[in-house]
Structure 1
């Protein structure tokens, strides 16, 4: 039996939503242990978080630089195998670059970097390092998303003609950032978030889901972005028309000021033979409609699933699988790839988002912002 991989973490101290999500997801399949971390920009808070997580005190570091350098000095059978970066966007690139250049694999939250230039630079660094890089577009780990992708790849829907995607939230309907809420504060700050607000935070999820499920790239975009929150600079709402590389048409609607919405990510794909739809808030149902058959609803571990969906379903049919399980699939597939590399083996098609997905996300953000500045003119992604 292969040993567990050893994970270090940058950001995500105790009390952090996304840090806790990463730790829980990484542990679900019993393949990964958290062994060290630099959990905060404050050395004192970082060390305190490590202690609260029951880590060895000697491996609770004050900075990510200290963690990477100290871990590199440890024996190979003790040091961390990879770093998980769960910081705000502006702190993705520096630790990722340093970790890769010191021989560590990397898992990073999305969007991949603060700027497009950083994403392009990171792509080169990853290639030069020979190390693995995973981006946590977690919704691609859902079994029904895998089923949708497999059905389209196998031609069951025929030629894709139309796509509609949405990601609607309402949590920024008020000036939450003015109350001291940290999640809101950094997301509306261009110095920490980048040039996209809702666009970078949730728009990239919609973009990635479209390209992952259909296997097609968005070629052009016409974007109309909005800023409704008082005093905000970055977008908190937007609507986009899209053109796909095969000629299909579509639209994306995003918002963080859609009052009453919680986490309404959904996608509809229409082909010449059939269509499908999936919603993150009801993740265990994939609805399909057909030209010459009745409507069918697929569920995890249910009837008619492709192998791609079956192999990521962990529990019997009828038991709900959701956000954490989908997140865990990214970690599981990444860990499987790292273990194979450690054992001198290769995997033909490792299935998790990579730097290429991250670069596509940044190109999407920049194209949408450029289009919006030019009165929603069509802009190449």
Structure 2
């Protein structure tokens, strides 16, 4: 397949996700990085471009200027896809500008700082939803795809309850005051938006609940807080969930759980059994029947039922499939879609997923403020 030409916004020195996205996009040779506005600092921008093998003529410290320059190039040379890895306050403006200039967009979550900022993006993306994707990376894991297919096929019966927890410990101390660049912007409302922890990792938990269950979260009762004194955004919280069809659930998101690294676990309970998946053991699903007998399914084609999940595998059974591979699966699916081969790719999280997460976060914030149930309206 002729590789899709990509420009990246953000992801310069000190970025966690920039190198991850560059490696993931390159993994299948279906996307080629050709341009970028990696940093507003000229030296850092040039250093990133040089490391990535990008010509100085195809970089800029100004994202919109880069988009204008790329749009002016001949059609067979310009970037086709814009990957947005910058802090949250950049997402909506760059996504809007990219769509207006005819580019496809792959955007890190959240879609914007808040739902109001996202409406212009959503309006533009509505005309061509197949040209907008969101980086809900965990959907790219083969066993997450398999879990979704098993639940839809009735493997655990009628869904009754969902329990999801996403806990980290890296913000247990006030590291934003100690020079931690990631913490500085993620705890700053001007850059991160109206929520810290829930906007960062809580939306992954919300997205996973809706993706695996196939049901929207209709209402929440939440309690969120800043556990670290002086911190301006939430770093810890929990919510009760009401899903469509009477399903109930709980969601915990915290970045002040000392000792935790990236523990993201979900369990779905039905009338005939339960299914569990954990991000730190991503190649396994545990199915439990109503009598408590547990069966472990591994990332092995012989043990999997869903063709899309099997197609997402990169290694033989017993070889761990990792986080970068999961993100690479999303990039590969998007590249196939942009090349008119979307029928060969699993469904991608798109603009609707981004809007759902923003609506969820706003409902969580309002519920925590009012101490009551709040509807999730996107």
The correspondence of residues 49-198 of structure 1 with structure 2, limited to 5 A, is 49-128=48-127, 132-198=131-197
* Deviation for aligned residue 1:130: 6.4
* Deviation for aligned residue 1:308: 2.7
Q: State the secondary structure of the residue aligned to 2:83.
A: strand
Q: Which residue of 2 aligns with 1:374?
A: 370
Structure 1 runs, 4 residues or longer, greater than 6 Å off = none
Q: Which residue of 2 aligns with 1:330?
A: 330
Q: Which residue of 2 aligns with 1:358?
A: 354
- For 2:229 and 2:177, how far apart are their aligned partners in 1? 10
Q: TM-score, normalised by structure 2?
A: 0.96
* Deviation for aligned residue 1:12: 0.4
Conserved? CA contact 2:12–2:18, under 8 Å:
yes
* Deviation for aligned residue 1:168: 0.4
Conserved? CA contact 1:134–1:352, under 8 Å:
yes
* Deviation for aligned residue 1:14: 3.3
* Deviation for aligned residue 1:302: 4.6
* Deviation for aligned residue 1:348: 8.9
Conserved? CA contact 2:89–2:192, under 8 Å:
yes
Q: Which runs of 5+ in 2 are unaligned?
A: none
Conserved? CA contact 1:227–1:235, under 8 Å:
yes
Q: State the secondary structure of the residue aligned to 1:41.
A: coil
Q: Which residue of 1 aligns with 2:221?
A: 222
- For 2:197 and 2:317, how far apart are their aligned partners in 1? 35
Render the CA deviation track for 1:81-122: whole Å, top value 9, x for unaligned.
100000110000111111100000000001111111122221
Conserved? CA contact 1:298–1:304, under 8 Å:
yes
Conserved? CA contact 2:225–2:235, under 8 Å:
yes
Q: Which residue of 2 aligns with 1:289?
A: 288
Conserved? CA contact 2:166–2:253, under 8 Å:
yes
Conserved? CA contact 1:101–1:129, under 8 Å:
no
- For 1:141 and 1:244, how far apart are their aligned partners in 2? 23
* Residues 372/305 of structure 1: CA separation in 2 closer, same or farther (3 Å cut): same
Aligned length, in residue pairs? 375
* Residues 130/171 of structure 1: CA separation in 2 closer, same or farther (3 Å cut): closer
The correspondence of residues 22-33 of structure 1 with structure 2, limited to 5 A, is 22-33=21-32
The correspondence of residues 229-248 of structure 1 with structure 2, limited to 5 A, is 229-248=228-247
* Deviation for aligned residue 1:153: 1.1
- For 1:74 and 1:5, how far apart are their aligned partners in 2? 15
* Deviation for aligned residue 1:24: 0.5
Q: State the secondary structure of the residue aligned to 1:250.
A: strand
Render the CA deviation track for 1:283-324: whole Å, top value 9, x for unaligned.
111101013684211111253312232110111000000211
Q: State the secondary structure of the residue aligned to 2:316.
A: coil
Q: Which runs of 5+ in 1 are unaligned?
A: none
Q: TM-score, normalised by structure 1?
A: 0.95
RMSD: 1.5
* Deviation for aligned residue 1:207: 0.1
Q: State the secondary structure of the residue aligned to 1:276.
A: strand
Render the CA deviation track for 1:248-304: whole Å, top value 9, x for unaligned.
111001110011111010100001112110110111111010136842111112533
Q: State the secondary structure of the residue aligned to 2:215.
A: coil
- For 1:350 and 1:140, how far apart are their aligned partners in 2? 10
Q: State the secondary structure of the residue aligned to 2:303.
A: coil
Render the CA deviation track for 1:122-163: whole Å, top value 9, x for unaligned.
110112466611100000110111111001111222210000
Render the CA deviation track for 1:315-338: whole Å, top value 9, x for unaligned.
100000021111111101111101
- For 2:211 and 2:77, how far apart are their aligned partners in 1? 36
